[in-house]
Structure 1
Amino acid sequence: MEAVALFSFTASGAGKLSFQKGDIIKVTEMEDDSCWVSAEIQGQRGYVPENYISLLPYPWFAGRVSRLEAEERLHRQDVGVFLVRESESAPGDFSVSVSYGKRVEHFRVLEGGGQYCIWDESFRSLNRLVDFYRAHSIAVEKVVRLRDPPSAAPPPPSQPDRNPYPNPYRSISQDSPPSARLGPSQRAPEPVAGKPRLAQALCDYTPPQTAHLHFLRGDLIDLLDCSDSRAWRGRCRGRVGIFPPEYVQPLFH
């Protein structure tokens, strides 16, 4: 799948990829409980922070649905109506399920060297593969071209809260990137009575902006101003700056 970079990112360690805001990134694998996704950029493979990117909206991508569920969705659809799903038998791979009218056929997408293929033709992304088989038959024994269902509505504008790879970061400016997505067990602090004076960092926050406060997971932060729900102001390691409250746990003593 393809995604667009919401922010620029400079890799700070081995196995990670750098990119610029607006770059198109090919996502090759994703995990529900990880802050990082496997991706490819200009032939280089590595990891990128999942909340720096937004999956491009494609109504045909069904995500993690089973073979049986795909058949139920495509049952008695017009010939060529299809969906792309993550493979059950080979995690990280993809399958294309296609209606043949009275039955559904499944095509495994083979991947190697950054190329995707079903038959002889290879493509740099799933999107290009799908576009090719819209104009050419995906079947060998008869002509079957991929097509959207007649009732398919145009995809809505991409919104971070509706994105399959959500970006839970909320900031004053979209130019202010997060450091890494909080895990599912790490929620934004619930409002409680009283004003906290200290907070503990739940994860690293190292944005390039000088006005933002840099801190590492576990750091204690003196809270100076918590009046803005989008950005708090605090002191850590002798520096003062703003930061997203989702990244810290207030301490009440």
Structure 2
Amino acid sequence: MPTQRWAPGTQCMTKCENSRPKPGELAFRKGDMVTILEACEDKSWYRAKHHGSGQEGLLAAAALRQREALSTDPKLSLMPWFHGKISGQEAIQQLQPPEDGLFLVRESARHPGDYVLCVSFGRDVIHYRVLHRDGHLTIDEAVCFCNLMDMVELAGYSTCSI
């Protein structure tokens, strides 16, 4: 059970899988995103909405961890490599003609609140989801950064921008 009660609207990630839910329970996989709709009278349960399926149902508090919030830095909009809410296809179009190391960062369409690093390599554009781990950002969990600007500056990506 969490030490704090989550308010409606709190976004959480699932820590495990429930592929065979009982009636009224929510089906989910490890790492799925849900939004708390309400806390149940039994303090160890919540009613939540699954971001992927749109389904609503009950799930145990022990199966959840609160999603770490990203604080949006107003300086991001000033960065030539930050393109905000664009799709993966739009990112590919922005990175044409292909040039190794050309990149941009965008907000994820599939995972609201997350970011995606899109890098041109060869004839392809590779999309890396930026993960939130213990208050830091990472792509591969080997190296962590405090914020997107540090990630771009310290990771040694080409400073080419569109």
Structure 2 distance, partners of 1:70, 1:46, is 24
Query: Where does residue 65 of structure 1 map in the other structure?
Result: 86
Amino acid of the residue matched to residue 126 of structure 1?
Answer: L
Percent of pairs identical after alignment?
Answer: 34
Q: Does 1:104 find its partner at 2:125? A: yes
Query: Where does residue 92 of structure 1 map in the other structure?
Result: 113
Query: Where does residue 151 of structure 2 map in the other structure?
Result: 129
Q: Matched residue of 2:155: which SS? A: helix
Kindly state the Cα deviation for residue 75 of structure 1 after the two structures are TM-superposed.
Answer: 2.4
Kindly state the Cα deviation for residue 101 of structure 1 after the two structures are TM-superposed.
Answer: 3.3
Amino acid of the residue matched to residue 118 of structure 1?
Answer: I
Deviations 1:64-97 (A, max 9, x none): 0000000111122310000000011100000000
- 5 Å-filtered alignment, 1:161-240, equals none
Query: Where does residue 146 of structure 1 map in the other structure?
Result: 158
Q: Does 1:55 find its partner at 2:75? A: yes
Structure 2 distance, partners of 1:65, 1:114, is 25
| Structure 1 residues 54 and 87: alpha-carbon distance in aligned structure 2, compared to 1, 3 A threshold | closer
Contact 1:76 1:99 in 2 (8 A): no
| Structure 1 residues 54 and 111: alpha-carbon distance in aligned structure 2, compared to 1, 3 A threshold | closer
Kindly state the Cα deviation for residue 113 of structure 1 after the two structures are TM-superposed.
Answer: 2.2
Amino acid of the residue matched to residue 132 of structure 1?
Answer: L
Measured on the aligned residues, the alpha-carbon RMSD in Å equals 2.6
Amino acid of the residue matched to residue 143 of structure 2?
Answer: E
Amino acid of the residue matched to residue 117 of structure 1?
Answer: T
| Structure 1 residues 128 and 70: alpha-carbon distance in aligned structure 2, compared to 1, 3 A threshold | same
Amino acid of the residue matched to residue 160 of structure 2?
Answer: D
| Structure 1 residues 47 and 63: alpha-carbon distance in aligned structure 2, compared to 1, 3 A threshold | closer
Query: Where does residue 169 of structure 1 map in the other structure?
Result: none
Amino acid of the residue matched to residue 101 of structure 1?
Answer: G
- Aligned residue pairs total 93
Kindly state the Cα deviation for residue 46 of structure 1 after the two structures are TM-superposed.
Answer: 7.7
Kindly state the Cα deviation for residue 54 of structure 1 after the two structures are TM-superposed.
Answer: 4.0
Q: Matched residue of 1:127: which SS? A: helix
Contact 2:103 2:117 in 1 (8 A): yes
Extract structure 1 runs of 4+ deviating beyond 3 A: 45-48
Query: Where does residue 25 of structure 1 map in the other structure?
Result: none
Q: Matched residue of 1:128: which SS? A: helix
- 5 Å-filtered alignment, 1:33-48, equals none
Contact 2:98 2:124 in 1 (8 A): no
Contact 1:75 1:101 in 2 (8 A): no
Query: Which segments of 5 or more consecutive residues in structure 1 lack a partner in the other structure?
Result: 1-44, 135-144, 153-253
Query: Which segments of 5 or more consecutive residues in structure 2 lack a partner in the other structure?
Result: 1-67
